[in-house]
Chain A
Amino acid sequence: MNREEAPGKSPEEMYIQQKVRVLLMLKKMGSNLTPNEEAFLRNYAGVVHSQMSQLPQHPIDQGAEDVVMAFSRSETEDRRQ
């Protein structure tokens, strides 16, 4: 959630801004939107435009990270040949 907006915007404007942001974030994370939500974004295309650049650049929800497997726990000796 963007909590750094300059004071001076009305609460309703903030609300629209934040809802746009939530919906854009959902899309960024690969989620689906309802038809109403898609319409909302179309209605506030200007806010969408300004919010797009403020979305975090890093991926938000990519699932579990890759993890290495530690194989070198014990020493095994082969038969001397």
Chain B
Amino acid sequence: MSLQMSEAEGAVKVEEWQQTFYASDSGIQSGATTIRDEEESEFCKKYSGSASAVESDTDVETQYSLTRAQRVRAAMFPETLVEGEAVLTTQNNPDQPTNVQRLAEPSQLLKTAIVHLINYQDDAELATRAVPELTKLLADDDQVVVNKAALIVNQLTRKEASRRVLMQSPQMVSAVVRAMQNTGDLETARCAASVLHSLSHQREGLLAIFKSGGIPALVRMLSSPMESVLFYAITTLHNLLLHQEGAKMAVRLADGLQRMVPLLKKSNPKFLAITTDCLQLLSYGNQESKLIILANGGPDSLVFIMRNHNYEKLLWTTSRVLKVLSVCPSNKPAIVDSGGMQALGQHLTGSSQRLTQNCLWTLRNLSDAATKQEGLDGLLHILVSQLGSDDVNMLTCATGILSNLTCNNARNKALVTQSGGVESLIHAVLRAGEKEDVAEPAVCALRHLTSRHPDAELAQNAVRLHYGIPAITKLLGQPHYWPVVKATVGLIRNLALCPANQAPLRESGTIPRLVNLLLKAHQETQRHGSGAQQTYQDGVRMEEIVEGCTGALHILARDPINRGEIASMQTIPLFVQLLYSYVENIKRVSAGVLCELALDKQSAEMIDAEGASAPLMELLHSPNEGIATYAAAVLFRISEDKSSDYRKRVSVELTHSLFKHDPAAWEMAHAAMPLDPGYIPDDLDAVYPPYGYSDIPMDGLPLDAELHEQYMPEMTYDPRQVYPNPL
């Protein structure tokens, strides 16, 4: 508000003011409410001695007769002083301002406020008188008239008082909306859009726009070729989305998303920041909106922005949209395919904490869809370095992303292993403590690194070399959070593949912990019955724990000392029982561990004593080659000391399973081999011809010459050896 009035104007103004509502006498002119004259005179007399320059005695006297009120008036309204009238200052010391001087600034502020009020009332009155007329003119058939009216209305929005009047008139706001959407004139549209934009800074204005159908009209303006119209429209819509209830639904219904997504191709960063924020407001928690964004090419444009801009606020708002979209199963692969992982990975080392964190959460959400992506080397390096952070959010994200990106991806596994990822992950596990959101993915990542890639052995050794084994074993202890236990058991299995790890694993007490977990989990499965019923704890099936523990013990049993320890813990009966499991994997690992344990004669006898032969015979027929192999091996090993009858039965079963899918060969073998109980000699010391038996017709059975040669002289007779077939 301009205060540059001349003295005369000021005097007039005040006079006018006095004739208005504010007519009560404040004493500015008359001094009516000020201190009594006697006191003032006393005051003046007291300090008059040191008064500054005096022209003459007469002047001095005139000055002294001025009241303080007059001095205040003079200080506040110098423009109201009568010409020639000057105020003598009572200031004694230049460094010490007088009371009036001290009053000067606050009183100036008060004066400004008073003047504002005066003008406010003027503006309000003017606007109130003008609104009905302007409303009519905005609907005029003559576009020139409409244009002029729009210009005036736009001017009126510049002042607060008149702006308020406008927004309080629904008819006016409607007229502006109609004018904006019906006009063919760009300038009119611009003015109208500007009006709505001005009104959108107050709640009253937002409500007026909303009620007047402003949202569909503004959405239509998003297709305008004029940049300023676009700017006004998007900003107004943004304000509506932020503060007006019902606006989100209205924008969606007006196809706002379909119009906004194409705007992402614009280049103005501030415009883009508002647009992306609108998209985030519209799509948060609304699946349909996310799908519309996808259908209009949103992921591509958003990733482009992340890759090519560096305005922090824009990057932040865009990362928020990507974060919202990253939980949508349809958007996820689209973002990944557009290079989203690489683009987000560009912003993990900058100074904006909020941007870094948003990118990390988004990457974590996307990571399970990105296991086959290429070009992630840079991202993987950054994530490994972030494993050193103390920020739990950063650790949660880094471990989670690494766990997924190393899943079934040999290249990523090798890169992370070679970048010191094993050591960093061990430190993350140590720092995670009981934070499962860090511990579980960290252990899973280690599990991935220690198997199924050329550098797996390097990783297995690195865990030991970086003192990881005790820390990992500790994770098997109470309290059990089963997802972490499951991951740890799998990791231990992989670590045991490395012979150098067998002793450290044993020394850290892994075997008893695994056996106890196995027993506990198995008891749970038995308690809840078998078959279709499955027991879950923390989202993990106890059958998975049984399988994992047995699998780890299987590999640990490759070491002879471990093997002895495992057998000594009375585990053989349980392993034999597990051969009957309905879970194929459990059958496999239990056959596997028994196969290893059976290398020791004493254990082989125990296995046999537990009645393992029957289920093992069944498992010979398994279509799973691993299962059949282990079963056959255990049977070989437990039958070494057996009677010939037993060995015959085993050989028959083996043969039967061999010819299961080749009936003709089975028939032929049957014919050649009378199932005579005496065909395998009881007398184990007898020497038998290396091939053929007396009751087998030799002609018609071509013998492999090489086999014949090998068989004859070098064969060491071993009575325990199962004989080559009968016959």
Q: Does B343 contact A (CB under 8 A)?
A: no
- Point out the residue from A44, A56, A71 that lies within 8 Å of B364, measured CB to CB: A71
Residues A60 and B626 in contact, CB atoms below 8 Å apart: yes
Which of B448, B547, B711 has the most chain A CB within a 10 Å cutoff?
A: B711
Say yes or no: is A29 at the interface (Cβ < 8 Å to chain B): yes
Which listed residue, B406, B448, B672, touches A10 by the CB 8 Å rule?
B672
B532 at the interface (CB under 8 A from A): no
Are B548 and A26 in contact (CB-based, < 8 A)?
no
A70 to B367, CA, bound (A): 8
Contact B285 A34 (CB under 8 A): no
Whether A63 pairs with B707 at a CB distance below 8 angstroms is: no
- Which of B99-107, B166-174, B467-475, B714-722 lies at the interface? B714-722
CB under 8 Å from chain A, chain B span 344-362: 354, 357-358, 361
As a 0/1 sequence over residues 30 to 57 of chain A, the CB contacts with chain B under 8 angstroms (1 = contact) are 1110101101100111110000000010
Main secondary structure on B side of the interface with A: helix
A73 to chain B, nearest CB (A): 7
**Chain A residue contacts of B403, Cβ below 8 A:** 69
Q: Which of A12, A47, A68, A74 has the most CB of B within 10 A?
A: A12
Interface residues of chain A: helix, strand, loop or mixed (majority): loop
Q: Which of B368, B662, B703 contacts A70 (CB 8 A)?
A: B368
Complex: chain B residue closest to A2, CB-CB? B658
Contact with B along A1-35 (1 / 0, CB 8 A): 11111111111111110110011011001111010
Which residues between 648 and 680 of chain B lie within 8 Å of chain A, taking CB atoms?
651, 654-655, 657-662, 664-665, 668-669, 672-673
Shortest beta-carbon distance from B338 to chain A in Å: 17
A35 CB, nearest partner CB in chain B, Å: 10
Whole-angstrom distance between the alpha carbons of A76 and B406 in the complex? 25
Task: State A16–B599 Cα separation when bound (angstroms).
Answer: 20
Shortest CB-to-CB span from B378 to chain A, Å, is 21
Known: A66-B408, A77-B284. A11 touches B551 (CB 8 A): no
Hey, which chain A residues are within 8 Å of B724, CB to CB? 12-13, 15-16
Contacts A26-B629, A32-B558, A43-B715 given; indicate if A63 touches B451 (C-beta within 8 A): yes
What is the distance, in angstroms, from A44's C-beta to the closest C-beta of chain B? 6
Decide: A39 and B661 in contact? CB cutoff 8 A: no
Q: Is B691 an interface residue (CB 8 A)?
A: yes
> Which of A12, A63, A65, A68 has a CB less than 8 Å from the CB of B368?
A68
Q: Please, which residue of chain B has its CB at the minimum distance from the CB of A37?
A: B636
Q: How far is the CB of B631 from chain A (nearest CB, A)?
A: 9
Asked whether B324 is an interface residue with its Cβ less than 8 Å from the other chain, the reply is yes
CB pair A10–B703 under 8 Å, yes or no, is yes
Interface pair B715/A12, CB less than 8 Å apart: no
* Smallest CB separation, B594 vs chain A (Å): 11
Kindly list chain A residues whose C-beta atoms are within 8 Å of the C-beta of B660: 3
Question: In the complex, A46→B448 CA distance in Å?
Answer: 39
Q: Is B42 an interface position by the 8 A CB rule?
A: no
Instruction: Decide if B710 touches A14 in the complex (CB within 8 Å).
Output: no
Interface residues on A, range: 35 or more
B365 at the A interface (CB under 8 A): yes
In the complex, chain B residues 693-727 whose Cβ is within 8 Å of any chain A Cβ: 696, 701-704, 706-707, 710-711, 714-716, 718, 720-727
| Alpha-carbon gap, A40 to B721, bound state (A) | 9
Tell me whether A66 and B327 are in contact in the complex, defined as CB-CB below 8 angstroms, given that A31-B595, A31-B633, A32-B596 are known contacts: no
- CB contacts (< 8 Å) of B406 on chain A: these are 66
**B400 and A69 contact, CB distance less than 8 A:** yes
Among B613-671, those with CB < 8 Å from A are 620, 625-626, 628-630, 632-633, 636-637, 640, 651, 654-655, 657-662, 664-665, 668-669
Roughly how many angstroms separate A63 CA and B714 CA in the complex, as a whole number? 38
Query: Given A1-B658, A46-B710, A75-B324: A64 and B629 within 8 A (CB)?
Result: no
- Give Cα A7 to B404, complex, Å: 49
B256 at the A interface (CB under 8 A): no
Contact of A75 among B284, B654, B673, B707 (CB under 8 A): B284
Contact call A72/B707, Cβ cutoff below 8 A: no
Instruction: For the complex, give the distance between the alpha carbons of A56 and B692 in Å.
Output: 31
Candidates A22, A39, A78; contact of B633 at CB < 8 Å = A22
A32 CB → nearest B CB, Å: 6
CB neighbours (8 Å) of A67 from chain B are: 407
Q: Are B725 and A15 in contact (CB under 8 A)?
A: yes
B371 CB within 8 Å of chain A: yes
Contact residue among B284, B404, B665 (Cβ-Cβ distance under 8 Å from A68): B404
User: Which residues on the A side are within 8 Å of B298 (C-beta)?
Assistant: none
With a cutoff of 8 Å between Cβ atoms, the chain A residues found around residue B130 in the complex are: none
* B276 interface contact, C-beta 8 A: no
Q: Indicate whether B73 reaches chain A with its CB closer than 8 angstroms.
A: no
Of all chain B residues, which has the CB nearest A42?
A: B714
Interface residues of B in 535-567 (CB under 8 A from A): 547-548, 551, 555, 558
When chains A and B are docked, how far (Å) is the Cα of A9 from the Cα of B660?
Answer: 16
Question: Cα distance A44–B704 when bound, in Å?
Answer: 12
Q: Check B592 for interface membership: any CB of A closer than 8 A.
A: yes
- Measured in the bound complex, the distance between the Cα atoms of B703 and A7 in whole Å is 13
Instruction: List chain A residues, Cβ under 8 A from B366.
Output: 72
A23 to chain B, nearest CB (A): 8
Taken together as a complex, chains A and B put the C-alpha atoms of A70 and B701 apart, in Å, by: 60
Q: Which 9 A-B pairs have the closest CB atoms?
A: A12-B725, A72-B365, A12-B724, A7-B665, A68-B368, A15-B725, A11-B725, A66-B407, A72-B327
Q: Which residues of B contact A (CB under 8 A)?
A: 284-285, 320, 324, 326-327, 332, 354, 357-358, 361, 364-368, 371, 400, 403-404, 406-408, 440-441, 444, 447-448, 451-452, 490, 493-494, 497, 547-548, 551, 555, 558, 585, 588, 592, 595-596, 599, 620, 625-626, 628-630, 632-633, 636-637, 640, 651, 654-655, 657-662, 664-665, 668-669, 672-673, 691-692, 696, 701-704, 706-707, 710-711, 714-716, 718, 720-727
Give the interface of A toward B (CB within 8 A): 1-16, 18-19, 22-23, 25-26, 29-32, 34, 36-37, 39-40, 43-47, 56, 60-78, 81
In the complex, 15 of the A-B residue pairs with CB atoms within 8 angstroms, ordered by the A residue number, are: A5-B658, A10-B696, A11-B672, A15-B651, A16-B725, A19-B632, A22-B636, A36-B720, A61-B626, A64-B585, A66-B406, A66-B451, A68-B367, A69-B444, A70-B368
Extra inter-chain contacts (13) besides given A15-B725, A26-B629, CB under 8 Å: A5-B662, A7-B662, A12-B727, A15-B651, A15-B654, A25-B625, A26-B595, A32-B558, A36-B721, A62-B451, A66-B406, A66-B451, A68-B367
